[in-house]
Homo-oligomer: A and B are copies of this chain.
Amino acid sequence: MWKQKMGEKFWANEDDKMVVESVVGREACELLISSGNAASDVTLPGDLGVQQGLAQLVEGSNWNYAVFWHVASLRSGGISLIWGDGHCCDPKLGAAEDGSSHQNVRSDRVEKKEELNKLVLQKLHSSFGRSGDDNFAERLDGVSDVEMLYLSSMYFSFQSDSAYGPMGSLKSKRVIWASDAPTCLDHYQLRSFLAKSAGFQTVAFVPLKNGVVELGSVKAIPEEQNVVEMVRALLGAPASNKTKVLPKIFGQELSLGGVKSQSVTINFSPKVEDDSMFASETFDAQRVDSNQFHGGTSNGYPSDNEAKLFSHPNQIVMRGFSPQTRISGLEQHKDESSPYADDRKPRKRGRKPANGREEPLNHVEAERQRREKLNQRFYALRAVVPNISKMDKASLLGDAITYINDLQMKIKALETEKDMVNDKHKPQLVPDFDVQMRHEDAVVTVSCPLDAHPASEVIKTLRNHQVAPECDVSMKDGTGVMHTFSIRTQVGGVEQLKEKLVAALSK
């Protein structure tokens, strides 16, 4: 059970290894081969309910993919991050990459690479794929490098205590945002070869309660707090039904409400105690008055017990391994992954704690979490609504309503416009026609409105400019139609006619 039997066969073949290595890189390939698959017999967590959120993150944005890395506990006692779910949106259509307008270049070299990618993916899948959805790789017809990184990520997992990549984000509970290619590759760790091939320039990791969301893009995307908040709002509720089990963890029961991203960590006011820890965060949405962000203060991994409810699939464990050793210049993780700094922290705002009882302490915590969830939704709403007038909650809602109505009107206009186009172009394609017999021949007549005719402007211009053209012949070659108009004109009028035609056709 420490090695998959199918895998054995494939990796024994040296040629196959070379092929895979050429795609995923040497180091990753080595680890793929040598790593024992911890608990390869169990299935993935199944539907985590995050697919929709991931899709929304990617669609319509500059991100090329989003992956949710799920926390899983190892038999050894540690934890690891395994593939939870993902969404990829590679804009492969209309490539024209190198500035050369030859599409043949693409269809030659790139398509060859895509077929190679597909082949490697099939090998990976047959070796390490989960038993469930088979031949998923066979469905693909050519895998771009972007998709390759995304799809092959399924076969990686992270167990290291590195400060890079998803585990680095999870351990430090910090958002990692690398928007230049070198730093980016650092955080891709073993997948850096794949990331380099695909040309990724930005990768971001957002730690959540029971996992990490990874976003990647081939574009250089500057850090946006909006995106982070949107991630937290959209994916704040993964596997909510299962978190209901074991609501009390420690003696000090903390109600992990099931619909929280990382709210179990204790909030504190950054302005008072810990200004220095917020150097790498950019806050563009609003003033950070209260505590929606927090440093590493937490009482342990909240999903420690929760994660045991999930089983981790058959994936290659990626041990502490960083392909580059240089320190990222963009993220100063002063983390050291200190996950056990906790205790109650003083709150500044609001009323005095009314120190009389101890029993409603759970209630206030729940209310805190509810408020924070609502605020995250507000931040996420700010992220998707443009033209925010006054960084105000009420104004935000009003702007959102306005924006929704604008969008609805726009959609209605576009749809009616489309219908108009259809109504105008459909009967154009079905013109009146008639077939009649004359002597030994058949005469087919086809009539269509003048405006729908390709040569309508020419015909109109001729009719306006000259007397009726009178005689014209249309001839057809293989793929086109050619209309020829022979008209009687005076000397010198040709230039004038040509100008008129150009003017008429270019308007």
Chain A positions near chain B (C-beta within 8 angstroms): 52, 56, 59-60, 230, 233-234, 259, 370, 373-374, 377-378, 380-381, 384-385, 393-394, 397-398, 400-405, 407-412, 414-415, 417-418, 421, 425, 428-431, 433, 435, 437-438, 440-450, 452-459, 462-463, 472-474, 476, 479-489, 491, 493-494, 497-498, 501, 505-506
Q: Which residues of B contact A497 (CB under 8 A)?
A: 435, 442, 444
Q: Which residues of B contact A455 (CB under 8 A)?
A: 431, 446, 448, 481
Judge whether B446 and A483 touch: CB under 8 Å: yes
Task: Please measure, in the bound complex, the distance between the C-alpha atom of A497 and the C-alpha atom of B441, giving whole angstroms.
Answer: 12
Task: Please measure, in the bound complex, the distance between the C-alpha atom of A472 and the C-alpha atom of B445, giving whole angstroms.
Answer: 10
Judge whether A506 and B430 touch: CB under 8 Å: yes
Judge whether B488 and A441 touch: CB under 8 Å: yes
Judge whether B381 and A400 touch: CB under 8 Å: yes
Q: Which residues of B contact A493 (CB under 8 A)?
A: 442
Report A338 CB to chain B, min CB distance, Å. Answer: 31
Task: Please measure, in the bound complex, the distance between the C-alpha atom of A472 and the C-alpha atom of B441, giving whole angstroms.
Answer: 12
Report A54 CB to chain B, min CB distance, Å. Answer: 11
Judge whether B397 and A384 touch: CB under 8 Å: no
Main secondary structure of the interface of A (DSSP, over half): helix
Q: Which residues of B contact A259 (CB under 8 A)?
A: 394
Contact of A59 among B405, B505, B506 (CB under 8 A): B405
Task: Please measure, in the bound complex, the distance between the C-alpha atom of A259 and the C-alpha atom of B390, giving whole angstroms.
Answer: 13
Q: Which residues of B contact A411 (CB under 8 A)?
A: 407, 410-411, 414
A-B CB contact pairs (8 Å), 5 listed: A374-B397, A410-B411, A414-B414, A433-B501, A446-B455
Judge whether A448 and B412 touch: CB under 8 Å: no
Report A220 CB to chain B, min CB distance, Å. Answer: 22
Chain B, residue nearest A56 (CB): B405
Q: Which residues of B contact A417 (CB under 8 A)?
A: 418
Report A239 CB to chain B, min CB distance, Å. Answer: 16
Q: Which residues of B contact A374 (CB under 8 A)?
A: 393-394, 397
Most buried by B among A408, A437, A474: A474
Q: Which residues of B contact A370 (CB under 8 A)?
A: 394
Report A340 CB to chain B, min CB distance, Å. Answer: 30
Judge whether A454 and B428 touch: CB under 8 Å: yes
Per assembly, the copies of the chain total: 2
Task: Please measure, in the bound complex, the distance between the C-alpha atom of A472 and the C-alpha atom of B437, giving whole angstroms.
Answer: 15
Judge whether A445 and B405 touch: CB under 8 Å: no
A59-B409, A60-B409, A483-B445 given as contacts; is B450 within 8 A of A453 (CB)? no
A377-B394, A394-B374 given as contacts; is B442 within 8 A of A494 (CB)? yes
Task: Please measure, in the bound complex, the distance between the C-alpha atom of A455 and the C-alpha atom of B432, giving whole angstroms.
Answer: 10
Task: Please measure, in the bound complex, the distance between the C-alpha atom of A56 and the C-alpha atom of B429, giving whole angstroms.
Answer: 37
Task: Please measure, in the bound complex, the distance between the C-alpha atom of A446 and the C-alpha atom of B435, giving whole angstroms.
Answer: 26
Judge whether B454 and A446 touch: CB under 8 Å: yes
Q: Which residues of B contact A418 (CB under 8 A)?
A: 414, 417-418, 421
Contact of A453 among B52, B454, B463 (CB under 8 A): B454
Q: Which residues of B contact A381 (CB under 8 A)?
A: 397, 400-401, 404
Judge whether A397 and B414 touch: CB under 8 Å: no
A407-B408, A430-B506 given as contacts; is B233 within 8 A of A398 (CB)? yes
Task: Please measure, in the bound complex, the distance between the C-alpha atom of A457 and the C-alpha atom of B380, giving whole angstroms.
Answer: 50
Beyond the given pairs A414-B418, A444-B497, 8 more chain A to chain B contacts, judged by CB atoms under 8 angstroms and listed by A's residue number, are A56-B402, A59-B405, A377-B397, A377-B398, A378-B397, A380-B398, A430-B506, A444-B458
Contact of A407 among B407, B437, B452 (CB under 8 A): B407
Contact of A435 among B393, B410, B494 (CB under 8 A): B494
Q: Which residues of B contact A230 (CB under 8 A)?
A: 401
Task: Please measure, in the bound complex, the distance between the C-alpha atom of A487 and the C-alpha atom of B440, giving whole angstroms.
Answer: 9
Report A293 CB to chain B, min CB distance, Å. Answer: 19
Q: Which residues of B contact A453 (CB under 8 A)?
A: 454, 481
Chain B, residue nearest A462 (CB): B444
Judge whether A448 and B380 touch: CB under 8 Å: no
Q: Which residues of B contact A429 (CB under 8 A)?
A: 454, 456-457, 505
Chain B, residue nearest A471 (CB): B473
Task: Please measure, in the bound complex, the distance between the C-alpha atom of A261 and the C-alpha atom of B475, giving whole angstroms.
Answer: 70
Task: Please measure, in the bound complex, the distance between the C-alpha atom of A474 and the C-alpha atom of B472, giving whole angstroms.
Answer: 7
Task: Please measure, in the bound complex, the distance between the C-alpha atom of A456 and the C-alpha atom of B234, giving whole angstroms.
Answer: 48
Judge whether A60 and B405 touch: CB under 8 Å: yes
The 4 closest A-B pairs by CB, nearest first: A377-B397, A448-B454, A407-B407, A447-B482
Contact of A425 among B410, B425, B444, B472 (CB under 8 A): B425
Judge whether A484 and B444 touch: CB under 8 Å: yes
Judge whether A443 and B234 touch: CB under 8 Å: no
Contact of A444 among B403, B449, B501 (CB under 8 A): B501
Q: Which residues of B contact A484 (CB under 8 A)?
A: 443-446
Report A55 CB to chain B, min CB distance, Å. Answer: 8
Task: Please measure, in the bound complex, the distance between the C-alpha atom of A437 and the C-alpha atom of B473, giving whole angstroms.
Answer: 16
